[in-house]
Amino acid sequence: MNCVICHSPRIEVEEVKEEILLDNDVVLIPVKLLVCKNCGERYYDRKTMRFLEKIEENLRKGEGHLKEIGKVLMYG
């Protein structure tokens, strides 16, 4: 498979941190995804999409173990 954006064949599995925005909080979810090494495009399969949706749903219900690792800051 080649990247649909840049047509590079360099697509590899990589652990990335997906961001879920909860009001003013950002929650990082580590997931393994296919990522284009050339342009950074991320490819999500159905399983990963469902996994992330489920986590978001749980977080909105106040479930799930979270630890604080930094701050979210806004400039200006």
Q: Give residues in contact with Zn ion (CB under 5 A).
A: 3, 5-6, 8, 36, 38-39, 41
Nearest CB to Zn ion, comparing residues 21 and 39: 39
Residues paired with 29 in a beta bridge: 18
CB of residue 46 vs Zn ion: minimum separation in angstroms?
21
CA separation for the pair 42, 70 (Å, rounded): 24
Nearest CB to Zn ion, comparing residues 34 and 55: 34
Nearest CB to Zn ion, comparing residues 5 and 13: 5
CB of residue 16 vs Zn ion: minimum separation in angstroms?
14
The Cβ of residue 36 has, within 10 Å, a number of other Cβ atoms equal to 22
- Which DSSP state fits 59? H
CA separation for the pair 20, 12 (Å, rounded): 23
